[in-house]
Chain A
């Protein structure tokens, strides 16, 4: 069959397909561009950077910038590279993720299987907590940390991330446990199991998917955080994002763009790796957060 312009339906469909793929590939290159540029730039020497442009491949691949970024780049006063800050982020993220996930799991369990008067209202309050801009708690929290003697320390940052992560983890677990049949808990009660045994033997074993979602989400949020990091830490206690920002913005001497890029990739690697390996859980976390209450 042909239409008015003499094109067959097949041709029109094919042109349509080409347009679709073309646009998608164009978009893909837009998203890949920065990553490509970062990698390529980090492997060039400063001379090559000046001579070439963003997309030109290095004639001589060199990992020098990476070494500097890791261990000798200057981040303000000290010049020890990012490795100290990397460790700090690990020390902050691991406990904070673990604690906020555990608390979120218990909260979700109670809210769905041991409902009491006001538990829905409580959930609503928590939910609103996820929506506030953190700027409104920065100052009072700074004061509290000062009083507790935790300002500028890693435990202080762990506390902050746990406190403001609980709302999200509770949301995840609550939405997940809602679909675990209540009759399972009732059968276990008749069998004689109590609060903790039911959680440990019945609920927890079926929670693996949501634990993964919660851990990945929390890890990404905490690792990538900058606001709390820059306000509540100082000197060599700072997390990686703050270290990176300092590194890129120190104005001593010549700007070493290759080092900047290497540093950015170092900072991005952990969450990027998590995303590549467990991407679908990450997406589940994102879309679960979007389906509020």
Chain B
């Protein structure tokens, strides 16, 4: 079983005068699942293509295992890639699609057939082996594309938004399959997506990218709980984190942030983060609270030091099934709260909401960086 690490060292990419990647440094160990996630145009696909060798590196280097592959052709990097549009060869059968690479490497016929059979078994596509891609459904094509990659038994798997063309239900199924496959094979994976749910569920390490730079690199938990700036905080998590611009105030020796709502004003105590905000008293910062940190009042928890209860005016109610989203307005901003369906009030009424500040984060309003 191959477990090669991947090191991307200060990689730059420019097209003429345009800088598309501005110094990327990423390090993962063998066997890890790396996610490159970000909005369109952030450079994640370009970076993936450079790891694959389909695009040249303007400066910097890329190492797979101990080998510097920066200037090697794709076929010499021992990689396999699954494309967004699957890129199955239309004139060949499924079996031929899978064995094409082996054919070129002049692998013996018997071994080719054995590999095809093994891979087909793994992905449950045996009955499709003699069909042409045009005769397959989207999900089946996806499997064949993965089969083609598996057959290469590479040092590195690359996925370029493989699930974007599938419908929602199929996407969830395939996501789980990919995760299982990774657990079984243990090969290092680099996976590009714009879907932050895929990023959170699949990755060991996530690199959140924007405008050609890595905004933050870490485990899903780190990125979720400890975002380094507003972009990362707002990008990961659905519904997005709430950003509430507020003034830092000192009340009775305690640091808090001023909140003005339709049902009354109050000050949220920030205890834990008090140290960082000391220097910011009387200035404006941005408070970041995830929807699940604003819930209905829970008996027994309200006495917890990190929790604060206050009444707010409910503007919109959106039941999603497992919970209900409540929209309130605080400091002029729309704030999303996640409450239990039975506890939700109706729109236009006041409701007591409990703010869990243990995980609250604070940002500088102008630069967006974390305080």
Please say whether the chains A and B touch (CB closer than 8 A).
yes
A residues adjacent to B (C-beta < 8 A): 181, 183-184, 186-193, 197, 201-202, 205-206
B62, chain A: closest CB distance, angstroms: 15
User: B104 in the interface, Cβ–Cβ < 8 Å?
Assistant: yes
A40, chain B: closest CB distance, angstroms: 49
B85–A188 touching, CB < 8 Å: no
Query: Given the complex of chains A and B, what is the CA–CA distance between A201 and B96 in angstroms?
Result: 11
B105–A181 touching, CB < 8 Å: no
Query: Given the complex of chains A and B, what is the CA–CA distance between A193 and B100 in angstroms?
Result: 9
User: B368 in the interface, Cβ–Cβ < 8 Å?
Assistant: no
A192–B105 touching, CB < 8 Å: yes
Among B73, B81, B104, B105, which residue has its beta carbon within 8 angstroms of that of A187? B81
- Name 26 A/B residue pairs within 8 A (Cβ), A-sorted: A181-B85, A183-B83, A183-B84, A183-B85, A183-B87, A184-B90, A186-B52, A186-B54, A186-B74, A186-B87, A187-B81, A187-B83, A187-B87, A187-B148, A188-B100, A189-B73, A190-B54, A190-B75, A190-B81, A191-B75, A191-B148, A193-B75, A193-B100, A193-B104, A205-B90, A206-B90
B residues adjacent to A (C-beta < 8 A): 49, 52, 54, 73-75, 79-81, 83-85, 87-91, 100-101, 104-105, 148, 152
Query: Given the complex of chains A and B, what is the CA–CA distance between A205 and B152 in angstroms?
Result: 24
Given contacts A183-B83, A197-B104, contact A190 B89 (CB under 8 A): no
Q: Quick one: closest A residue to B151, CB to CB? A: A191
**Residues of chain A with a CB closer than 8 A to B89's CB:** 184, 187-188, 201-202
Q: Chain A: interface secondary structure?
A: helix
Q: Quick one: closest A residue to B49, CB to CB? A: A186
B16, chain A: closest CB distance, angstroms: 10
B74–A189 touching, CB < 8 Å: yes
Considering the complex of A and B, which 9 residue pairs feature the smallest CB-CB distances, nearest first?
A191-B101, A205-B91, A183-B87, A192-B75, A187-B87, A192-B104, A183-B83, A190-B74, A189-B74
A165, chain B: closest CB distance, angstroms: 27
**Residues of chain A with a CB closer than 8 A to B79's CB:** 190
Given contacts A181-B87, A183-B85, A206-B91, contact A189 B101 (CB under 8 A): no
Q: A184-B89, A186-B74, A187-B89 are in contact. List 18 more A-B contacts (CB 8 A).
A: A181-B85, A186-B81, A187-B83, A187-B87, A188-B100, A189-B54, A189-B73, A189-B74, A190-B52, A190-B75, A190-B79, A190-B80, A190-B101, A191-B100, A191-B101, A193-B75, A202-B89, A205-B90
B97, chain A: closest CB distance, angstroms: 9
**Residues of chain A with a CB closer than 8 A to B104's CB:** 191-193, 197
B54–A192 touching, CB < 8 Å: no
A259, chain B: closest CB distance, angstroms: 50
Query: Given the complex of chains A and B, what is the CA–CA distance between A215 and B105 in angstroms?
Result: 35
**A181, A187, A192, A197 — which one has the most chain B CB atoms within 10 A of its CB?**
A187
**Residues of chain B with a CB closer than 8 A to A187's CB:** 81, 83, 87-89, 148
Query: Given the complex of chains A and B, what is the CA–CA distance between A197 and B80 in angstroms?
Result: 19
**A190, A192, A201, A205 — which one has the most chain B CB atoms within 10 A of its CB?**
A190
Query: Given the complex of chains A and B, what is the CA–CA distance between A205 and B80 in angstroms?
Result: 24
Query: Given the complex of chains A and B, what is the CA–CA distance between A163 and B74 in angstroms?
Result: 37
Query: Given the complex of chains A and B, what is the CA–CA distance between A202 and B88 in angstroms?
Result: 10
**Residues of chain A with a CB closer than 8 A to B49's CB:** 186
A269, chain B: closest CB distance, angstroms: 35
Query: Given the complex of chains A and B, what is the CA–CA distance between A121 and B87 in angstroms?
Result: 29
**Residues of chain A with a CB closer than 8 A to B148's CB:** 187, 191
**Residues of chain B with a CB closer than 8 A to A184's CB:** 87, 89-90
B368, chain A: closest CB distance, angstroms: 35
Query: Given the complex of chains A and B, what is the CA–CA distance between A187 and B74 in angstroms?
Result: 10
**Residues of chain B with a CB closer than 8 A to A202's CB:** 89, 91
B341, chain A: closest CB distance, angstroms: 44
Among A183, A189, A201, which residue has its beta carbon within 8 angstroms of that of B75? A189
